[in-house]
């Protein structure tokens, strides 16, 4: 009999969710075969990501700091546990998780970051700020990184990276768009599949 076990994935988001969409599309097109997105959790109640999840028939929940205050992370853990989540994918999730949280899910959280780590990463480097810093430095190449998440912001083991050219006249917005399309939307689904396979094989 074929083993049809799939890793139960939660995608954590804060915003528009183009990476989430890439994951959903990759599930449909067969790039991700060893995992299934069963939950999308946003820390922003009005994130468009939640609509993307609903449109794809995926359970979508908002867990906000405004509502849960100091119990914010506890509520996230409860929600993950209730849904038997085995892998957490951070796709534009703009909150830093505590050491307790990252220890609990060792090798079970991955994140996409819009630069070639170790450049332009760590606390304070998120979203367009990353691209602004890269342009200020004058780098000719940037890109994206998918990595495991530990207690050090953007400090966990690197899974995949893809370089993208910086063009004359780039703004943070144009650079971001090129990196999303040419790197993030490719390496996040590919890394998700790779990590799911390793989990199913008992390698991690
Ligand atoms: C992406 O570029 C992602 O790499 C970045 O936020 C954007 C979210 O876009 N994440 C970080 O900066 C985390 N440090 P999306 O909502 O369209 O996927």
If you average pLDDT over residues 97-116, what whole number do you get? 98
pLDDT cut 90: percent of the chain above it: 98
What pLDDT digit, counting tens, does each position of 27-74 carry? 999 999 999 999 999 999 999 999 999 999 999 999 999 999 999 999
* Topology classification of domain 7-200: Rossmann fold (3.40.50)
Indicate the top mutation candidate among 15, 25, 47, 92 to test ligand 1's pocket, ranked by most ligand atoms within 8 A of CB: 92
Contact 78, 125 (CB under 8 A): no
Residue 131 falls in the annotated catalytic set:
no
**Catalytic-labelled residue, pool 113, 147, 178, 186:** 113
Q: Is residue 182 packed enough to be buried (19+ CB in 10 Å), middle (13-18) or exposed (0-12)?
A: middle
Query: Looking at residue 3, what is its pLDDT?
Result: 65
pLDDT at 1 over 60: no
Q: Model-level pTM?
A: 0.97
In the chain, what are the domain boundaries? 7-200
Our answer on whether the CB atom of 17 is closer than 6 Å to any ligand 1 atom is yes
* pLDDT value of position 4: 82
**Average pLDDT of the residues in 91-100:** 97
Cβ–ligand 1 distance for 156 under 6 Å, the answer no
């Amino acid at each position: 009999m074929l083993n049809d076990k799939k890793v139960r994935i939660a995608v954590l988001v804060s915003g528009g969710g183009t990476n989430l969409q890439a994951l959903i599309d990759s599930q449909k097109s067969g790039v991700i075969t060893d995992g299934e997105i069963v939950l999308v959790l946003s820390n922003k109640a009005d994130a468009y990501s939640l609509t993307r999840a609903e449109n794809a028939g995926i359970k979508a929940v908002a867990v906000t700091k405004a509502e849960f205050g100091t119990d914010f992370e506890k509520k996230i853990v409860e929600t993950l546990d209730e849904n038997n989540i085995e892998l957490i994918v951070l796709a534009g999730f703009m909150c830093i998780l505590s050491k307790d949280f990252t220890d609990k899910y060792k090798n079970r959280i991955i994140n996409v970051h819009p630069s070639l780590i170790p450049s332009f990463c760590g606390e304070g480097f998120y979203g367009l700020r990353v691209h602004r810093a890269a342009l200020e430095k004058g780098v000719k190449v940037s890109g994206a990184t998918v990595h495991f998440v530990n207690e050090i912001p953007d400090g966990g083991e690197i899974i995949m990276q893809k370089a993208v050219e910086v063009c004359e006249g780039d703004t943070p917005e144009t650079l971001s768009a090129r990196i999303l399309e040419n790197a993030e939307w490719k390496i996040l689904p590919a890394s998700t599949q790779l990590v799911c396979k390793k989990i199913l094989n008992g390698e991690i």
